[in-house]
Every structure is written in C-alpha cells, then in structure tokens.
Amino acid sequence: MATDYDAPRKNEDEVAEDSIEELKSRRNDAGSSEIEEDENEAAENFELPGADLSKEELTVHVVPRQDDEFTCSQCFLVHHASQLDHVDENGAPVCTECAL
C-alpha cells in the first residue's frame, strides 16, 4: 500500500472517526459500485489506430538446418551444436535446456 508522506497527519479526533465498522462499510460500498468487464470482450473491441493488418501478406525466408545444428528430441527446436547436452538411449539429441 502506498503511503503519501507529504500528506498532513490525522489528529486524534479524525482517527477516532474512522472506526473499523465504518471502514468495512466503505469497502463494501466501493466494491458494489464497480462494474465487472470481460477481459476477452474488451480486448476484441479494442482497436489500435492503423493496426488493420488483414490485407498484409507476410513472407518468411526459411533456412534449412546447418551442419553445425541439431534438432532436440524433447522440444523439437533447432539448436547450435554447442547447446547439445547428450544423446539419449535411442540416439536422439537432447539440448541443455531440456536436460535440466
């Protein structure tokens, strides 16, 4: 909880006014006035200006696996040979991240 150290302190009379029952009733009143919004619905209705990418065509240049790379048998990602941890009993390579 953030504390504003520059705010004036309450005197004894103000502290006595803030009873626990009064604070609880304020909390309940504040919670009932909030409107719950579905996050998915809000995200669908939110549009960024100039973000219409429906007519855009993406191109990806695919490079074949190089001689100094391997495909991990656990995560199926292509790694550099320096990331090879071991070869399992079936002869399949396993990267250092999957070996943990």
**34-85: per-residue pLDDT in tens?**
567 778 887 777 777 777 777 888 899 999 999 999 999 999 999 999 999 9
**pLDDT at res. 39:** 82
Does the structure show a pLDDT above 70 at 90?
A: yes
CB distance 99 to 73 below 8 Å: no
**pLDDT at res. 4:** 76
E strand or H helix at 14: helix 12-17
C-alpha 27: how far from chain center: 29
Global pTM?
A: 0.43
**pLDDT at res. 35:** 66
- Residues facing residue 70 across a β-bridge: 79
